[in-house]
Chain A
Amino acid sequence: MGETLGRLSIDELEEMSKNCRLDIVRMTHAARSGHPGGSLSAIDLIVGLYGSNFRFKTDDPSWADRDRFILSKGHASPAMYSILHQIGVIGKEDIMSFREIGSVCQGHVDMKWTDGVDFSAGSLGMGLSFGLGSALAATMDSSEREVWVMLGDGETQEGEVWEAAMSASFHQTGNLKAIIDRNGIQNDDFVNVQMEIGDIGSKFSAFGWATKEIDGHDMNEVVKAIDWAKSVNDQPVAIIANTVKGKGVSFMENNPDFHGKAPSDDELAIALEELM
């Protein structure tokens, strides 16, 4: 195994996304809890990232010079576990024990528990700061490794995100790349009901970041945006990905109820049929 999964074709990425979506609904159904909506909105972006020459050894997930993927919106853990299963880091039995006592698949992603997880998340707003520290360390080490951080859009209501945004720009961390999963829904309701955050791209631009807005479910756009982000090395980069919460499952799409609710037996059957 080399130091990257290589560059997968659009067809391969879309097939991997489909398989991940199936596992996301299966594992949340099995656990009778979890966060399917934000996992389904994020998964195309995560798959696109890992399939675009992400530096990573599946047989050595803690390789010190790997690229980092920091899932700051740690409740989207089913998405993380689904891709780790797809690339062979964790097994089927692991993902199907999601949220059970002793399972390597904790409710929120936790690097102490799961090979291939680069951050212990669960409390929103912390991942970008952690990514900044990781990026500063990479620069100190003269390493080419990149640090990717995925945030939720509701998560940007946390003030620490903007502390991190300001300091990343000040420290000129061109190896720090953020992806904002702009699905428009947070725990209680739509973001524009809870506290609208407006034009996130303009806000990151004002903090000194290079930004690009894309359709987070169009794999061509996803891959192009990741390539573009890799090409920017003199300032931090934010990709604002417009997504649909619950993407791929009709009754979950754009439905705040499925932020943190698992599908029932009947709903699982419908979801699997729609996703197959």
Chain B
Amino acid sequence: MSSPSIGGASRDGYGSALLRIADNPRVVVLEADLGKSTKSCLFRSQHPERTFSLGISEQNMMLVAAGLAEAGKIPFASTFAIFTERGFEQIRNGIARPGFAVHVCGSHGGIHTGSDGSSAQSIEDFAIYRSIPGMTVIHPSDDLAAEELTVQLQSLGGPSYMRTARNKTGRIYDSGTSKGLRIGKGSTLRNGNDAAIIACGVMVERALNAANSLSGEGVECTVIDMHTIKPLDEELLANVANRCGCIVTAEDHSIIGGLGGAVAEWSALNNPVPIEMVGVMDRFGESGSTEDLMREMGLNPEDIANSVKKCVRRRN
């Protein structure tokens, strides 16, 4: 794969997608004073009559979205990933339990967010939302993927949570390949039989970089963009577990309960293979530049590469 171009941040793709689906009159947008950050402001500027500001009140926003959904609207409600968690019980009891197709988007997720510090760095959102029955959980790897998957949400018919990233990353897809993405289906970016790296979000680019450097050492990896953490693409997992015999997961999230947890649960129950997890090691973040923080937290390509080597040794 050629070196990726620099695109927007995945939050930019979310904003673009809202504009793309605006011709569906059922689509409504809810904000909690962070529309400029989540990029729902793009929809607001074109469709103020279908954009509802709830002020800084996330709990209220979640149930207002539910009320709109009950009447047939398709609400997209966004704030920072960490602040969606303030409305967790509202999402659990008020949205997911009755099964409303409300689409919650949490931007600025993960350590990658950077210098705002630990209060803003949600590293538990996948774990939280993955535990809710019927909830789809998505974390796209670039702006084009975010745009395509957000467009698909309008016909999902059930509740979802999508995390987007604050900062720009290298593009994984182009305008053609991103159209091939489907909610619930992992995207295979590279094939190799020595190990499988299953990544999501900002870690996908890093996983590809790790795979490229490992290739120079004679280790060939499959790399999967598992943008949908729930429902997990079990067919693809079975395929790579059988073919590679070991799996490394990579996520900008706690190693507890996120993508790594989901893959480990599946493997333990279905197809036990050695697994290594690259993620935040059960600690809070701190302020710093994105690059400094990703290095400090062990989320760099060399961390993934080292985990691959360890995992291959364990398998052998």
Contacts and interface: CB of A to CB of B under 8 A. Distances in A.
Contact of B59 (A112, A136, A160): A160
B73 A137 contact: yes
Interface in A102-136: 110-112, 118, 120, 122-123, 125-127, 129-136
Contacts of B99: 112
B72 A130 contact: no
Q: From DSSP, what is the main secondary structure of chain B's interface residues?
A: helix
A133 B65 contact: yes
B174 interface: no
Contact of A134 (B55, B71, B89, B97): B71
Contacts of B89: 123
Interface in B44-96: 50, 52-55, 57, 59-73, 75, 89-90, 93-94
A171 interface: yes
Contacts of B71: 64, 133-134, 137-138, 141
A144 interface: no
A122 B90 CA distance: 11
B50 A120 contact: no
Contact of A64 (B67, B72, B73): B72
Contacts of B67: 129-137
A136 B52 CA distance: 9
A141 B49 CA distance: 12
Nearest to B69: A133
Contacts of B90: 126, 129, 160
Interface in A163-181: 163-164, 166-167, 170-171
Contact of A167 (B50, B57, B62, B93): B57
- Categorize the interface residue count of chain A: 20 to 34
A1 to B, nearest CB: 22
A137 B70 CA distance: 9
A276 interface: no
B180 interface: no
A140 interface: yes
B73 A130 contact: no
B272 interface: no
Nearest to B57: A163
Nearest to B93: A123
A126 B99 CA distance: 16
Contacts of A133: 63-71, 75
Interface string A147-175: 00000000000011001101100110000
B157 interface: no
Contacts of B55: 163, 166-167, 170
Contacts of B93: 120, 122-123, 126
A118 B210 CA distance: 52
Contacts of A111: 98
A257 B72 CA distance: 41
A159 B59 CA distance: 9
Nearest to B67: A133
Nearest to A138: B71
A117 to B, nearest CB: 10
Contacts of B66: 129-130, 133
Given A126-B90, A126-B94, A137 B60 contact: no
B275 to A, nearest CB: 37
A140 B71 CA distance: 10
B97 A112 contact: yes
A209 to B, nearest CB: 15
Contacts of B70: 118, 130, 133-134, 137
Candidate in A120, A123, A129 with the most chain B CB atoms within 10 angstroms: A129
A137 B72 CA distance: 8
A167 B60 contact: yes
A140 B63 contact: no
A110 B93 CA distance: 10
Nearest to A111: B98
Contacts of A170: 53, 55
15 contacts: A64-B71, A110-B97, A120-B93, A125-B59, A129-B60, A129-B67, A129-B94, A133-B75, A134-B71, A136-B67, A137-B68, A137-B70, A137-B72, A159-B59, A167-B54
Closest 5 interchain pairs by CB?
A133-B67, A129-B63, A137-B71, A163-B57, A163-B60
Given A130-B64, A137-B68, A137-B71, 11 more contacts: A112-B99, A120-B97, A126-B90, A126-B93, A133-B63, A133-B71, A135-B67, A136-B67, A140-B73, A160-B63, A163-B55
